[in-house]
Homo-oligomer: A and B are copies of this chain.
Amino acid sequence: MRKIPRQARSRAMVERLLAAGRDVLVTDGYDAFTTNRVATRAGVSPGSLYQYFPDKGAIVEAVADRWLDELAERVAASLTDHLGAPGPVLVRGTLEALLDALEDDPELLRVVATELPLSRYRDRRQALRRRVADIATAGLAGPSGARRPDPATAAWVLVVAVEALSMQWVLEPPAPRRGESVEEQRSRIIDELTDLCLGYLLGQPSAAAPTGSRVAPRSEDRENV
């Protein structure tokens, strides 16, 4: 009704649909995520939906993608920001950024991680991982003090571990200690994860033996990493 430029109108419609999609997902769950419901929630007719998305799956994906993009943006920004900083600061900063981002829309996180068939958003999720891992790899390869023999592997390890832990923290945090407030617990968990990362990065790597099963006291070997 207003003088909304064509392009903008489309954009607005997409936004409405995505918002409705997120809403349905969060309040009704993935099983109730029907095209008609999304359309209704968006205050649109079912047909309209198909002018903007080829099919139902595309909407779910778009919702997930958007969320993941936001996440990636935040984390990557923080990571880049702290890139020069000393290890602990960088790690802590990144962890904080990640938790902040994940806690931004915990309900959506819950649905995405819990009800969505992973295949629906696997690619984007991997892209996120790779992006973060790449930055981290670069950071580790520099004069960071990290002793890991293979920065790429180290980045992979940390990214996967941290991702899982952060999500788990948001979705199902462990029982807090007696008398501990949530904030305290959160802060403590970040400490723990920081320790995890730094202990891994700065600790004595076990020698990178090529094949056989190592184990045992190879402390000497570790020197030459």
Contacts and interface: CB of A to CB of B under 8 A. Distances in A.
Interface string A54-95: 000000000000000000000000000000001111001100
Contacts of A221: 177
Interface stretch (A6-14, A40-48, A180-188): A180-188
Nearest to A169: B160
Given A163-B164, A213-B92, A203 B184 contact: no
Contacts of A175: 152
Interface string A210-224: 111111111101100
A195 B184 contact: no
A27 interface: no
Contacts of A199: 196, 198-204, 222, 225
B194 A117 contact: no
13 contacts: A30-B117, A92-B215, A93-B211, A114-B117, A150-B188, A153-B177, A157-B193, A187-B209, A187-B212, A190-B212, A191-B208, A202-B219, A203-B222
A170 interface: no
Copies assembled? 4
A163 B168 CA distance: 12
Contact of A115 (B88, B119, B195): B119
Contacts of A141: none
Contact of A117 (B116, B153, B205, B211): B116
A165 interface: yes
A101 interface: no
Contacts of A222: 198-199, 202-203
A145 interface: yes
A143 interface: no
A154 B174 CA distance: 10
Given A153-B189, A189-B153, A225 B203 contact: yes
Contacts of A126: 172
Contact of A211 (B96, B119, B189): B96
A35 interface: no
Interface string A111-134: 001111111001000100000000
